[in-house]
Structure 1
Amino acid sequence: LDLHSILSSESSALTHPSYPNHHVRFKQTHGFCDETVKTYTGYIDIEHGRKHLFFYFFESRRDPDNDDVVSCINGGPGGGSSALGLLTELGPCNIDSSSPNGTAWNPWGWNRKTNLLFLDQPIDVGYSYGDKTPLPSTAPDAARDVHAFLTVWFETFSKFKGRPFHFAGDSYGGRYVPVFASHIWDRNQDAHEEGRTPINLQSIMLGNGWTNPAKIYGSYYDMLCKNSTITPFYPIRMCSELVYTAPECEKKITQSCGRNYNKFDCRAAFDYCQTELINSFETTSINWYDISKSCGGNDLDCYPEIEEVRKYLSKNSTKDMLGVPRNHKFQVISWPLHEAFVDAGDMYDPSDSYVVGLLERGVRVLVYVGTNDLACNFVGNYRTVQGLDWSGSNAFTSSELTPWSVNGHVAGETKSHGRLTFATIRGAGHLVPFDKPEESVYMLEKWVANEHLGD
């Protein structure tokens, strides 16, 4: 498909003979975000037109005809339109209500050297929606939709077909991305057999990920009672009790959730952990996502940019520019979707085995974590990677963390063996590119180039 000739018109609607039940509606967008590159937005309609997944795509600022493709999703479940990452973290522009077009150019955008694809998923998040179809309630459910989307997307944007592909996600993306990438890998075998070009999956990137809930909860003691990052937050007497509570919490989650999921026992385990470990912290004004800062305690007070994004993407003028029907509501978060995932137990299910499966099949894995995040903190994520049972585990676990630097200053610590890399970003919270944009894009570009972060 020659995008430049087709998209000389305002918008396009396409089908593909290999995918007769899928349709593509998209346009080349002008006046949005980054005028230095070609930008496309639109929908891919899957499942006989019952599900409509919205995307934003920005070509690379360097060499779009040769640079890799990076796809980014946000967390949740149900709680993160990709527009939040696009407009507040790593996209080519940042939300800016004082600007004539509502955005300001971001010099640290992740499309400096990569082609950058943002996807609103699952349906009911952001601009994505469904027509009288049940909401997905697990990551494996959502994986089928994401694979269908990517397959049709690469067929439509065919000049990128076969290009090295990297799948990135933060927060609940630590659950989503390993599952989605594993589904892509498995279905690639079908593509080979059917004579189609498979998705060239090279790596996954997990930022402050919710990959192993038990280890994350067990690490709250370390973050709140030890000098892990800032200072101990809880009183000594309380911590003297939590030193026993944290392992018990981790044990309860492991026994009742995940593979051994029992709805009532699992909920009871999380209620126990929440009550014993977290409730006291939530009475403070400290930012759950960046414990170096105080704010009103809820996300909108801590990050007013979220409301700015919602307002901007709810404007009819913005919808017209992006090719979104005016009657369609932009949703930062879908509470029905969130509850569906919680009720099905997906939120409590670890994704370690998916990460291991990818590593053993040659897919590289980067786990990076801002050290000031409590929610999905670096202690829990480090324990997760240290506990992965893969063929390189002995060498990885025995290696030491070493500093990595950007422009002469230490940005964090890292360790790597074979296909697995772990990295911390000093002074960053849950949203690493938001807090440390220069460091984050440096990390991305080293990773995509398959260069060691510490070199």
Structure 2
Amino acid sequence: MANPKWGFLLLLHVFVFLINLQLGLSEEDPLVQQQLDRVLELPGQSFNISFAHYSGYVTVNQESGRALFYWFTEAVEDPDSKPLVLWLNGGPGCSSIAYGEAEEIGPFHIKPDLSLYLNPYSWNQVANLLFLDSPVGVGFSYSNTSSDLLNNGDKRTAEDSLAFLLKWFERFPQFKGREFYITGESYGGHYVPQLSKAIVKYNKASGENVINLKGYMVGNALTDDFHDHLGVFQFMWSTGLISDQTFKLLNVLCDFQSFIHTSSACDKVLDIASDELGDIDPYSIYTPLCPVNGSQSNRLRKRMKVIGRVNEQYDPCTEKHSVAYFNHAEVQKALHVNKEFAPPKWDTCSDLINENWKDSPRTVLDIYRELMHKGLRIWMFSGDTDAIIPVTSTRYTIDSLKLPTVKPFRAWYDDGKVGGWTQEYEGLTFVSVRGAGHEVPLHKPKLALALIKAFLAGTSMPSLELVSDS
């Protein structure tokens, strides 16, 4: 992957640094650091781009040395007029760079030969995109205090993510006051509303709209343990993936269980369910698995505890390509990864983080109830072929809120074809995406772009009549 341009690019960085020194600016100056974070070119990139992108670290806790890694891509056209969208993957312990950027909504996707191609359905067609590896220990994010990696949880993740945003806006002051939205999927169903609440609280305490949060959207999101489990077991049974007996045992032994900290009895029946599912991908039950050498573990229990994982055409080996690409030294150099704290082996998800997760509330519905009264735009979407946090879980969860319907359940359309179904409630909009798995933008990128367009515009999902009239 050697590139003769690297020498020139290095000289360009040195030139920018010397100019800054002449102007009396230091690397501590936020605007200088912004330019130092700019990514000039990526290994495997054979195409030109019209937008700028940046990556690097923001220290969120000086005392312990916690630093979060980000990758920011400006909108393809007129970034000054576009909103800012933050994307968070879950796990807990999974990288937003690995999934959100490289496999789902980001512009740079990876081919099997580790060259890059430009994702035509990237969400930076309509917004400026910010990807964050959170908490520390995930992706390239790190801490100087090793015990930090054993003490992650929901509460500190929200606190550190808020600290990140406040400092990031100092580094990128041109985005201060910009309309800001938070999106994510899976265990991001905890991160997204929790961070939204932290921002609302911070703004209130500050007496001003420091971060101009307008709304949030989550996909196939862990939200409420009781209703999520109820929906998972019903989905697996109704699609013929598990037996009647296992269905009954799951409802008895895993009822009210935490997704992160399960009982041994629940774990045993989850293993039985996993055996009954066979060698399929529960994140996308109708698409092929990535071929691997040797036996392929499909333990449902482990997969349910790491809630969140994997263009041109759908490639089931996308995650494999990401692991190879982001472990390459030249890629890490281009993205300004700190060599001193880079993991010896970069991976999409961290078992260490997941297995040592401290606090995880059984529900975040109380946050929904609180934030609905703050005027935020709140959407929940769901790919309907996901058996991890399926559409049934999301619908049970929304139903438990007992919200009045504003616009009734109906099909929505893309290019004259049914893209899914939607229902609008007072304070919340539900959208399903037909034929998509756990990672909607991976399996149905075009439909996912239609989704983010409607969400940011604050409009209903398109109907057949609107398509016909256009």
Superposition TM-score, scaled by structure 2 size:
0.81
Root mean square deviation of aligned Cα: 2.9
Instruction: Say whether the 8 Å CA contact 1:81–1:333 is kept in structure 2.
Output: no
- Structure 2 unmatched runs, 5+: 1-11, 21-25, 290-295, 304-308, 464-470
The verdict on how the C-alpha distance between 1:51 and 1:243 changes in structure 2, with shifts beyond 3 A counting, is closer
1: CA distance, partners of 2:373 / 2:253: 30
Instruction: Say whether the 8 Å CA contact 1:91–1:106 is kept in structure 2.
Output: yes
2:55 match: 41
Q: Secondary structure at the match of 1:401?
A: strand
Instruction: Say whether the 8 Å CA contact 1:139–1:180 is kept in structure 2.
Output: no
2: CA distance, partners of 1:250 / 1:421: 29
Instruction: Say whether the 8 Å CA contact 1:74–1:169 is kept in structure 2.
Output: yes
The verdict on how the C-alpha distance between 1:106 and 1:247 changes in structure 2, with shifts beyond 3 A counting, is same
2:124 match: 111
- Report whether the alignment pairs 1:199 with 2:204: no
Supply the AA of the counterpart residue of 2:225. P
Instruction: Say whether the 8 Å CA contact 2:37–2:336 is kept in structure 1.
Output: yes
2:353 match: 337
Per-residue CA deviations over 1:151-196 (Å, capped at 9, x if unaligned) read 1111221111111111011111011111111111111112326xxx
Q: Which stretch shows the higher mean deviation, 124-133 or 303-312?
A: 303-312
Q: Which stretch shows the higher mean deviation, 133-142 or 63-72?
A: 133-142
Alignment length (residue pairs): 414
2:405 match: 395
- Out of 310, 333, 355, the residue aligned to residue 320 of structure 1 is 333
1: CA distance, partners of 2:350 / 2:58: 20
Supply the AA of the counterpart residue of 1:64. P
* 1:216-295 map, 5 Å: 216-226=228-238, 231-234=239-242, 238-239=243-244, 241=245, 244-249=248-253, 251-253=255-257, 267-268=262-263, 271-276=264-269, 279-283=272-276, 284-295=278-289
State the 1:406 CA deviation: 0.8
The verdict on how the C-alpha distance between 1:6 and 1:98 changes in structure 2, with shifts beyond 3 A counting, is closer
State the 1:13 CA deviation: 3.2
State the 1:86 CA deviation: 0.5
Instruction: Say whether the 8 Å CA contact 1:218–1:249 is kept in structure 2.
Output: no
Supply the AA of the counterpart residue of 1:412. G
2:158 match: 143
1:134 match: 148
2:226 match: 214
Per-residue CA deviations over 1:358-384 (Å, capped at 9, x if unaligned) read 112111111111000000100011111
2:16 match: 9
1: CA distance, partners of 2:351 / 2:36: 28
Q: Which stretch shows the higher mean deviation, 143-152 or 78-87?
A: 78-87
Instruction: Say whether the 8 Å CA contact 2:323–2:348 is kept in structure 1.
Output: yes
Q: Secondary structure at the match of 2:322?
A: helix
2: CA distance, partners of 1:308 / 1:355: 36
Supply the AA of the counterpart residue of 1:406. D
2: CA distance, partners of 1:355 / 1:414: 19
Instruction: Say whether the 8 Å CA contact 1:178–1:351 is kept in structure 2.
Output: yes
1: CA distance, partners of 2:131 / 2:85: 9
Supply the AA of the counterpart residue of 2:16. S
2:440 match: 432
Per-residue CA deviations over 1:94-148 (Å, capped at 9, x if unaligned) read 112436xx31101100000100000111011111100015234321111110000
Instruction: Say whether the 8 Å CA contact 1:24–1:45 is kept in structure 2.
Output: no
- Structure 1 unmatched runs, 5+: 18-22
Supply the AA of the counterpart residue of 1:37. F
Identity %: 26
The verdict on how the C-alpha distance between 1:113 and 1:286 changes in structure 2, with shifts beyond 3 A counting, is same
Q: Secondary structure at the match of 2:157?
A: helix
Q: Secondary structure at the match of 2:408?
A: coil
1: CA distance, partners of 2:89 / 2:384: 19
